[in-house]
Amino acid sequence: MAYIFHQDDLPSLVSVVPGRKRVFFVSKELSGTDSMLAGIMYYTADAASPYHFHKNCEHFYFIFDGSATVETEQGLRDLNPGDLVFIPAEEKHRLRAKEPLFYFEFQAPNRFETTILDGTKDDLLWERVDGKVWVQS
């Protein structure tokens, strides 16, 4: 059986560090699998992830709306709607919105550790709409 979700019916996670919001469509909580993690993300202008990497996890971004830069060890690249970014496991990266940004994020598997290289542990804290805090491992 197929399952259909509307983003407004799913829990939102708001970063403790202002400017980032995510809605997962596939997560262990929703689907019972940790094979992947997928959802949509919203960044306000100038919001950014910390410079970080994920151990044992491939990572994708697909930009729907807005513009951003992605920073890797190779430098900065501009991103615009229609761009797809693939980040191999353990590749250092950061995403920064130039303007309000809406994108799809996919990570596999959802059994990974995140190491922050530039930022704080608060960058991994997310508050649910109902007030619970999730910690990204």
**Could you tell me the domains of the chain?**
12-135 (2.60.120.10)
* Contacts of 6 by beta carbon, 8 Å cutoff, 6+ apart: none
Q: Using one digit for the tens of pLDDT, what is the confidence trace for 72-95?
A: 999 999 999 999 999 999 999 999
pTM: 0.89
Type of residue found at 9: D
Q: What is the pLDDT of residue 132?
A: 56
Grouping H, G, I as helix, E, B as strand and the rest as coil, residue 95 is: strand
Residues 32-59: pLDDT tens digits? 888 999 999 999 999 999 999 999 999 9
Buried b (16+ CB within 10 A) or exposed e, 6-40: eeeebbbbbbebebbbbbbbbbeeebeeeebbbbb
